[in-house]
Amino acid sequence: MQYLSTRSADHRVSLSTALQEGLAPDGGLYVPERFPDFGPETFADCTTIEAVSERLLRPFVEGDPLADELTAICEATFGFPVRLRGVGRRTSVLELFHGPTAAFKDVGARFLADSLARLNENADQPLTILVATSGDTGAAVAAAFWKKPHVEVIVLYPKGKVSDRQEQQLTGWSDNVQTIAVRGVFDDCQELVKAAFQDEHWQSRKRLSSANSINIGRLLPQMTYYAYASLQHWRTHGTRPTVVVPSGNLGNGLACLYARECGLPIGDVIFATNENRPVTHYLDTGEWTPFESKETLATAMDVGNPSNMERLRHHWSTAEALAEAISAERVTDEQIQDQIQRGLDEWSTVWDPHTACAVDVRDRLARDTDRDWILVATAHPAKFPEVVEPLIGREVDIPESLAKVMARSHPPPEIDPNLSSLAHVVFDESPSVHP
Ligand SMILES: *Cc1c(COP(=O)(O)O)cnc(C)c1O
């Protein structure tokens, strides 16, 4: 299997190259050249998510140096449960939050981390992953790379601009993971990453790479929980469930579509967004326009210009074509609050603000149609206590894995938003050396 850039079909690379480069040299995103055609019976003997992953991902690593290591990579990726839990009439929740940082991003980050560690085994210098984060991505990446050989991570986050709990998750690391608080906003962190990538001094001293969500190495493993859940549903009910995916940058939703392309028994796919409107606007009007991102209660979905739109438009080239593949529904903050408030009574469940979007979409559409639902739970509610706890009137218990990370939290070095201050911390040198 080869991977091509969304901007030039002639530029084809192996999976390993796509993982290491992240972005194609022409600025495009890597996509698989084709999808294998599996039927549900292909997975008849696969009972664990590790087994399903290995079977599903096998064609995607074909011909790549990682092919021989796929079994080990799938085992390293999971090692925590993915649960499909029935919650009510014809409705199940796909719980993707049992990993180390209690959100679905653990899956993609762990697959990528393990793959990159293996690909750099014989390099004379570790690979340095530089990430700017506004909260959750950084924690998932830090957790995934922590103590992996041949790789190191530098996480930059805006001081005072993330919640206390997010900060504790970002700063609970050591060894090969360094977290730095930047006196500025998220954009300053992102500018610092860009500046380091373009700086000769950094280039000569570090082998820099990024692990952001556009990396195909994060997308592919996300297909596997849709495969696992839809197979489980198929075996029990013999139907193709409608899957509702809380969506922002659209990677998770796209992974669901990829799984369906591979022949898995998935019915309709609905992207549940918050008040940010790029996707619904595109589907409604046929015109693609990025928006300024709007702050909502489902912060991890506050995206005005989702990067995976480029992949969606590559595979489904017009709005009409995309509208055949998916639908999208917008959910307001009031609706999110309302669902969280009613969650315990109606579903015996405490929803996090992102999952609440999927629940609201189901509520709207279940009135008129007769179907089975899988609602994707992208995060544990304990990650967002400031939103959730006042609405349910009690505290949310913190999952053990998350509590462990937070207990290790320690004050990070703080820098001004310029490259010489960053170099000072990273290379342990005087800021005046590289003005
Ligand atoms: C990142 C994130 C999302 C959005 O996923 P995309 O792949 O960016 O669409 C939804 N919920 C949570 C909790 C997240 O962290």
CA of 300 relative to ligand 1 center, distance in Å: 5
Which pLDDT belongs to residue 431? 52
Contact 136 CB / ligand 1 (< 6 Å) = yes
Question: Has residue 94 been placed in a domain?
Answer: yes
3-state secondary structure of 38: coil
Question: Has residue 332 been placed in a domain?
Answer: yes
CA of 121 relative to ligand 1 center, distance in Å: 31
Which pLDDT belongs to residue 435? 42
Which pLDDT belongs to residue 434? 47
Question: Has residue 268 been placed in a domain?
Answer: yes
Question: Has residue 162 been placed in a domain?
Answer: no
What parts of the chain have a pLDDT lower than 70? 429-435
Question: Has residue 361 been placed in a domain?
Answer: yes
Question: Has residue 269 been placed in a domain?
Answer: yes
Domain residues for the domain of 297 are: 81-102+216-392
Contact 343 CB / ligand 1 (< 6 Å) = no
Question: Has residue 408 been placed in a domain?
Answer: no
Question: What is the side-by-side strand order in the sheet with 177-182?
Answer: 207-209, 127-132, 151-158, 177-182, 414-415
**131, 153 in Cβ contact below 8 A?**
yes
CA angle 222/244/106 to nearest 5° reads 30
Q: Where are the alpha helices (DSSP H) in 31-103?
A: 49-61, 70-77
Name the residue of 93, 301, 305, 388 whose CB sits within 8 Å of the most ligand 1 atoms, as the mutation to test its pocket: 301
**285, 1 in Cβ contact below 8 A?**
no
Question: Has residue 318 been placed in a domain?
Answer: yes
Work out how many domains the chain is built from and give that number.
1
pLDDT digits over 348-406, tens only?
Answer: 999 999 999 999 999 999 987 789 999 999 999 999 999 999 999 999 999 999 999 99
Instruction: Give the CATH number for residue 323.
Output: 3.40.50.1100
Tokens 């015996």 found at: 348
